[in-house]
Amino acid sequence: MSLRDALRIPASQITDESVYRDRRRLLQAFAAAPALALAGCAEAEPPPPPKVVVTPEQARSGFRTTETLTRYEDVTSYNNFYEFGTGKADPSAARKTLKTSPWSVVVGGECAKPGRIALEDLVKGLPPQERIYRLRCVEGWSMVIPWLGVPLGEVLKKFQPTSKAKYVAFTTLADPVQMPGVRYRSINWPYREGLRIDEAMHPLTLLATGLYGKPLPQQNGAPLRLVVPWKYGFKSIKSIVEIKFVERMPETAWHDLQPSEYGFFSNVNPDVDHPRWSQKTERRIAGTQSKLFAERIPTRMFNGYADQVASLYAGLDLKKWY
């Protein structure tokens, strides 16, 4: 049985698709929901990050896990990729329309070597690495995926960011011909995301080009996507066409749509609930079990990567800067 026929998230946790088709109605629906007392992310800037050093040993300890992998068939059939529709099965159609070659990325902003660079040159000289990471969706489900890619930090160093580069902003392709979901204003296209510079340079942060030893499928963000395993899945932006070094915290797509629900940092945190559902547990999309969804399991702080990344947020109020 395909995952698209699997158990559904309770209807109480899902905004009706017709609402997504109209951004104004979506905002009205969000406004009617219980509000989080977490306006901090709407303020100017958080305090500066602490100066921390992550040792290679610390980083490598997060590169793999013995947890059961999610099946390839499920990883590629149960996706969020609104550029192709709001349903979990909609992105599977991407393989028919999304052209991933040739592909280039524009890099600019506060760096010494800006320019447009072909994908093959972007990752040139960086041997692909396999990383088995947990991916936790804000909706309450999770997967364990063997990604293939290169460390984002090593790519960014090629462009020599200046001392003004405090953040890194990313933009997704937004082509209504290739991406039918872009024809509807479910969000303010193009999709945008961002990281603080130390998060972007962290050894766990991956630019993924494949999964399960194969090239990245279109529905999973081909040919180039971000994977930040300690943050909710929507931070792992897909089909990247622009990377920009910036001095101020960049606006991001979901934060732009509803800042009280989707903060800039978006670290997995079981103690900070979404207004419409708890984040204390998650339903793992598991491997070869008879049930496509395993039993609920407790959500771990930073998605289980606290040993590697908690020091990045020392002194930061994680309920305010959610």
Residues 118-129 have pLDDT tens digits of 999 999 999 999
Q: Which residue has the higher pLDDT, 186 or 142?
A: 142
Residues 9-38 have pLDDT tens digits of 333 333 333 333 344 344 344 433 433 333
DSSP 177: T
Start-to-end CA distance of the chain, whole Å, equals: 37
- The whole-chain average pLDDT of the chain stands at 87
pLDDT at 32: 39
Q: Which residue has the higher pLDDT, 26 or 168?
A: 168
Q: Which residue has the higher pLDDT, 210 or 4?
A: 210
Cis bond leading into 180, ω under 30°?
Answer: no
pLDDT at 53: 87
Beta strands in 90-191 (DSSP E): 104-109, 115-118, 129-136, 141-151, 167-172
Rounded Cα distance, 93 and 95, in Å: 5
Given the DSSP bridges, would you call strands 167-172 and 293-298 parallel, antiparallel or unpaired? unpaired
Percentage of the chain beyond pLDDT 70 is 84
CA 133 to chain centre: 12
pLDDT at 26: 41
In sequence order, what are the residues at sequence separation of 6 or more whose Cβ sits closer than 8 angstroms to the Cβ of residue 43?
A: none
Yes or no: say if 268 and 283 are a contact pair by the CB < 8 Å rule.
no
What secondary structure does DSSP assign to 256-291, as a single string?
HH-TTTS-SS-B--TTS-BTTB--SEEEEE-SS-SS
pLDDT at 276: 87
Dig out the tokens for 257 from the structure. Answer: 């749509």
pLDDT at 288: 58
Q: Which residue has the higher pLDDT, 221 or 4?
A: 221
- On the question of pLDDT at 252 being above 50, the answer is yes
pTM for the model: 0.86
Yes or no: say if 197 and 234 are a contact pair by the CB < 8 Å rule.
no
**Order of strands, sheet of 167-172, starting from the edge strand that comes earlier in the sequence:** 115-118, 104-109, 240-246, 167-172, 192-196
Q: Could you tell me the CA-to-CA distances from 160 to 58, 69, 115, 153, 164 in Å, in that order?
A: 25, 37, 12, 11, 11
Yes or no: say if 41 and 321 are a contact pair by the CB < 8 Å rule.
yes
The CATH H-level (homologous superfamily) assignment of domain 3-313 is Oxidoreductase, molybdopterin-binding domain (3.90.420.10)
CA 248 to chain centre: 20
Give me the residue spans of the domains in the chain. Answer: 3-313
pLDDT at 54: 87
Q: Tell which phi-psi region holds residue 165, choosing left (phi > 0), alpha (psi between -120 and 50) or beta.
A: beta
pLDDT at 286: 73
Rounded Cα distance, 142 and 303, in Å: 10
Residues 53-74 have pLDDT tens digits of 888 899 999 999 999 999 999 9
pLDDT, average across residues 226-246: 98
